[in-house]
């Protein structure tokens, strides 16, 4: 691929080039950096291209290793990047947005991310790859040479091949955008693509902001958990000892509590009718009749907490900020849900003893907001079931209302156990729960579970019809869609009843969970615009929850902006069911 480019090393040339390119609708956008993390390296080059005319800005010629945020000569570049038009086309735009955000001090305006577009078009196909080289090869039939990617970008003078490589990466995304845009339109993915693209800069900014953690608080919590684990382990050993065939030399039976085989053998010897798999949801119904199962689940929970959320979490704290700057992947699942790593902040245990260690810094406070039962509200909207919708409109406790219907009692007479059961049933319905699974998690017989489901769906007939139709549609069309048009394709063997049943469950759940993801991402874009210029900053998200940090003085206005943004986003997709957003203000990440 041949590309014409201009190397920009002087302020006047930069001003002229930015003025020339500012009238374009789209600009290819790329950066060259010395490291992967913007806090660890330098931003060397910024490249912009309309496909014919490409500029490569060498920032070392403006300030070598210095703080380029304060360089006035770069203002034309900042304005061009920050403007919503031209739309900046980038592959994995979050990476470039973080670098210019950290080093130039600007949030990238309108974006078109060719990596995200490719992911949307692939619709969950795990065999597809989404690197720039893979996407360019698939859609353009063009090979991209990435050999210079790992070259030294801090040299006083860059080689001609380095400059040309940088220019090509900015130029190639221009024709690539055209191909991807045509495919997005053909597949009905334009609306969800817009939502995804608008979310890039808020996520980049969130990762730069990081989430503050009180390290001493975390270590204190771990010490308590370790003591708790030792106590539970001793109690579990005592309970299992009667099921161990051979005692130790000291007369007390010892088994490896982390060995599934040894624990299973001991449980069987104790007469516990354990299933072939000892996953938690399969063991849970047995806990009521066999205390040893409850103790085992308790032990596993503590052990997992120590393994997944132990001292290793503190390895991710940046000593310069005292914060964890995790990596969020926008399309972490075919439903569009985020995934998170280094570390996974979305799986921090809900218990206050863990979350209280994530705090606002001195002088600040946290605003924590989450959607109330958003997936059930989406299901009510989709199904159009008037009784289901009315349960939300009435303002009554939704789970208590469902329990009253299932058990045939007035809402005022619903017991805590009945409400808890109805809550599990309500959320189970979202995931396409069947009688067999319901029986497993509740301890009911399969016939009792069938009767419960029959009463439930007899009450909400419209809900039953929608779920059945969604399952059948997933099989006949081999696809599911969210309210924003997000597409997931299903692959299964037509002769495999298990795969067909799984596809039906996915067909029921994907539109609901995916629409929830679409709503959250839309809320992030609205929030980003609403808090611009204030002290507020996005610090974490967990599926239907958003955490913002702001100055104590701006807590009230930030709470309103957050709630308004989340409500407005949901109301774009949910018209008949009221939206409820719970908001709390606290120094700690707790409710």
Segment 368-408, tens digit of pLDDT: 999 999 999 999 999 999 999 998 998 888 899 888 878 88
pLDDT (0 to 100) of residue 3: 83
- According to the model, what pLDDT value does residue 241 have? 85
Any idea which architecture 5-187 has in CATH? 2-Layer Sandwich (3.30)
Residue 508 confidence (pLDDT): 94
In the predicted structure, residue 248 carries a pLDDT above the cut 90: no
Record the pTM.
0.92
Distance CA 373, CA 290 (A): 33
pLDDT given for residue 274 in this prediction: 85
C-alpha span between 549 and 556 (Å, rounded): 12
φ, ψ dihedrals at 480, nearest 5°: -140, 155
User: For every residue of 27-60, which 3-state class applies, written as one string?
Assistant: EEEEEEECCCCCCCCCEEEEEEECCCCEEEEEHH
CB within 8 Å of 171: residues ≥ 6 apart = 1, 3, 5, 28, 49, 51, 54
As a whole number, mean pLDDT of residues 421-450 equals 82
Residue scoring higher pLDDT (167 or 403): 167
Average pLDDT, the chain: 92
- Give the percent of the chain with pLDDT over 90: 73
Cβ of 550: how many Cβ atoms within 10 Å? Answer: 25
pLDDT of residue 1: 67
Q: What is the pLDDT of residue 443?
A: 72
* Strand arrangement of the beta sheet that strand 364-371 belongs to: 537-542, 545-551, 364-371, 581-586
Reported as a pLDDT band with limits 50, 70 and 90, residue 129 is very high
Q: Domain spanning 375-484+493-510 has what CATH number? A: 1.10.150.20
The pair of structure tokens assigned to 420 is 């808890």
CA distances from 589 to 219, 362, 566 (A): 17, 14, 19
DSSP-derived pairing of the beta strands 111-113 and 87-90:
parallel
The C-alpha torsion from 379 through 500 and 439 to 377, rounded to 10°, is: -10
Q: Are 548 and 458 in contact (CB under 8 A)?
A: no
Quick one: which H or E segment has residue 449? helix 446-459
pLDDT computed for residue 509 by the predictor? 93
> What residue spans define the domains of the chain?
5-187, 215-308, 325-373+517-586, 375-484+493-510
pLDDT reported for residue 380: 95
Mean pLDDT, to the nearest integer, of 72-101? 97
Domain 325-373+517-586: CATH architecture, name and number where available: 2-Layer Sandwich (3.30)
The CATH number fitting domain 215-308, selected from 1.20.1440, 1.20.1060, 3.10.105, 3.40.50: 1.20.1060
pLDDT tens digits, 45-79: 999 999 999 999 999 999 865 678 889 999 999 99
């Amino acid at each position: 691929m041949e590309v014409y480019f201009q190397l920009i090393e002087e302020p006047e040339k930069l001003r002229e080039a930015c003025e020339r390119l500012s009238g374009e609708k789209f600009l290819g956008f790329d950066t060259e950096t010395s490291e992967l993390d913007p806090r660890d390296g330098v931003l060397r080059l910024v490249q912009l291209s309309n496909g014919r005319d490409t500029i490569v800005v060498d920032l070392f010629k403006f300030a070598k290793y210095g703080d380029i945020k304060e360089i006035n000569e770069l203002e034309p570049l900042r304005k061009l990047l920050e403007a919503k038009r031209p739309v900046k086309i980038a592959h994995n735009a979050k990476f470039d947005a973080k670098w210019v955000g950290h080093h130039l001090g600007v949030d990238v305006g309108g974006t078109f991310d060719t990596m995200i577009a490719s992911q949307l078009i692939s619709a969950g196909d795990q065999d597809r790859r989404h690197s720039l080289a893979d996407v360019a090869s698939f859609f353009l039939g063009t090979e991209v040479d990435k050999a210079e990617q790992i070259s030294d970008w801090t040299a006083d003078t860059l080689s001609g091949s380095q400059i040309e490589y940088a220019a090509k990466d900015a130029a190639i995304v221009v024709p690539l955008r055209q191909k991807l845009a045509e495919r997005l339109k053909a597949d009905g993915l334009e609306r969800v693509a817009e939502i995804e693209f608008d979310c890039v800069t808020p996520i980049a900014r969130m990762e730069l902001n990081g989430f503050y953690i009180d390290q001493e608080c975390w270590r204190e919590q771990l010490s308590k958990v370790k003591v708790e684990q030792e106590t539970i382990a001793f109690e579990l050993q005592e309970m299992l000892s009667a099921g161990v065939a051979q005692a130790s030399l000291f007369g007390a039976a010892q088994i490896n509590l982390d060995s599934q085989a040894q624990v299973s053998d001991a449980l069987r010897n104790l007469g516990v009718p354990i299933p072939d798999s000892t996953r938690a949801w399969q063991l849970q119904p047995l806990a009521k009749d066999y205390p040893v199962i409850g103790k085992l689940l308790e032990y596993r929970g503590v052990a997992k907490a120590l393994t997944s959320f132990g001292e290793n979490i503190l390895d991710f704290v940046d000593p310069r900020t005292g914060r964890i700057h995790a990596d969020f992947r926008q399309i972490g699942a075919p439903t569009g849900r985020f995934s998170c790593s280094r570390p996974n902040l979305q799986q921090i245990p809900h218990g206050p003893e863990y979350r209280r260690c994530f705090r606002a810094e001195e002088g600040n406070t946290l605003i924590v907001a989450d959607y109330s039962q958003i997936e059930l509200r989406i299901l009510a909207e989709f199904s159009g079931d008037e009784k289901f919708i009315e349960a939300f409109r009435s303002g009554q406790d939704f789970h208590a209302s469902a329990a009253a219907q299932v058990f045939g009692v007035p809402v005022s007479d619903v017991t805590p156990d009945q409400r808890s059961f109805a809550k599990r049933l309500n959320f189970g319905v979202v995931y396409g729960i069947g009688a067999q699974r319901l029986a497993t998690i509740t301890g009911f017989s399969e016939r009792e579970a069938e009767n419960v489901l029959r009463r439930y769906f007899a009450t909400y007939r419209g809900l039953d019809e929608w779920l059945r139709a969604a399952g059948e549609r997933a099989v006949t069309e081999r696809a599911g869609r969210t309210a924003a048009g997000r597409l997931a394709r299903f692959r299964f063997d037509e002769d495999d009843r298990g795969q067909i049943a799984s596809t039906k469950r996915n067909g029921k759940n994907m539109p609901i969970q995916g629409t929830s993801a679409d709503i959250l991402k839309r809320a992030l874009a609205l929030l980003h615009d609403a808090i611009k210029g204030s002290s507020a900053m996005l610090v974490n998200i967990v599926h239907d929850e958003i955490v913002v940090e702001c100055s104590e003085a701006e807590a009230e206005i930030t709470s309103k902006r957050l709630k308004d943004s989340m409500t407005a986003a949901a109301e774009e997709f949910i018209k008949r069911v009221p939206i409820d957003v719970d908001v709390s203000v606290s120094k700690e990440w707790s409710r």
